[in-house]
Amino acid sequence: MTAILLVRGDITRQRADAIVNAANSSLLGGGGVDGAVHRRGGPEILAECRALRASRYGRGLPTGQAVATTAGKLDARWVIHTVGPVYDGPDSDPAPLASCYRESLRVADELGARTVVFPAISTGVYRWPMDDAARIAVETVRSTPTAVEEVRFALFDERAYEAFSRCLGPE
Ligand code: AR6
């Protein structure tokens, strides 16, 4: 049984086996969580991302997939980079967003990670509505078989924290 916890604040301040990055398919950095991960984690992460581009992901990491690198100076062993979908109105397919959580947990299992921290993927620059994204995140983590013992969502603002709280329901 995987415990699901909510915490407020900056994901790059979290201690865990793995921290999930809301990346883009270039794997070469950006704003939001991605910017913070590379800023605080240091250049080692970007160096591994560049190597991944040169080897396995010449065309970029596809949406909904996940790949791990070192966590550099972060208080974690690995960063798992995943690419969320861009929201494009109410007809947007939620499957790639669910896939980000599922694939990140699959990579975490491969690594042997027991604690994993996620941000609210796609809810920033990629504009996915928070309530819907929170529901997809919580439902997917709950329904994915994994050896990860603790999944933590690091939520930057109160609005995100409350949306995830509503999905998690009473303790
Ligand atoms: N810790 C925790 N949550 C954060 C942090 C942080 N340090 N910074 C932002 N958030 P986003 P996306 C919240 O934009 O929507 C990048 O440029 C934020 O408030 O980081 O998947 C990438 O390179 C929001 O609720 O990710 C991609 O191009 C959530 O984290 C693109 O943005 C996700 O916001 C990915 O967009």
The pLDDT value given to residue 171 = 58
| CB of 49 shorter than 6 A to ligand 1 | no
Handedness of CA 80, 24, 11, 100 (dihedral sign): negative
Residue 115 token pair: 């604690």
| CB of 124 shorter than 6 A to ligand 1 | yes
Q: For strand 115-118 and strand 150-155, is the pairing parallel, antiparallel, or unpaired?
A: parallel
Ligand 1: which of 15, 19, 26, 33 to mutate, most ligand atoms within 8 Å of CB?
33
ipTM score assigned to the predicted complex: 0.99
Rounded CA-CA distance 161/100 in Å is 20
Asked whether the beta carbons of 144 and 155 are under 8 A apart, the reply is: no
| CB of 21 shorter than 6 A to ligand 1 | no
The pLDDT value given to residue 120 = 98
| Residues catalogued as catalytic | 34
pLDDT tens for the 171 residues of the chain, in order: 899 999 999 999 999 999 999 999 999 999 999 999 999 999 999 999 999 999 999 999 999 999 999 999 999 999 999 999 999 999 999 999 999 999 999 999 999 999 999 999 999 999 999 999 999 999 999 999 999 999 999 999 999 999 999 999 875
Using the atom order of ligand 1, give the atom closest to the CA of residue 11. 1
Using the atom order of ligand 1, give the atom closest to the CA of residue 130. 25
Q: How far is the CA of 160 from the centre of ligand 1 (A)?
A: 12
Bridge partners, 154 (sequence order): 7
DSSP state at residue 148: -
The pLDDT value given to residue 151 = 98
Does the predicted TM-score (pTM) go above 0.90? Answer: yes
Residue entry with tokens 């690091």: 154
Q: How far is the CA of 21 from the centre of ligand 1 (A)?
A: 8
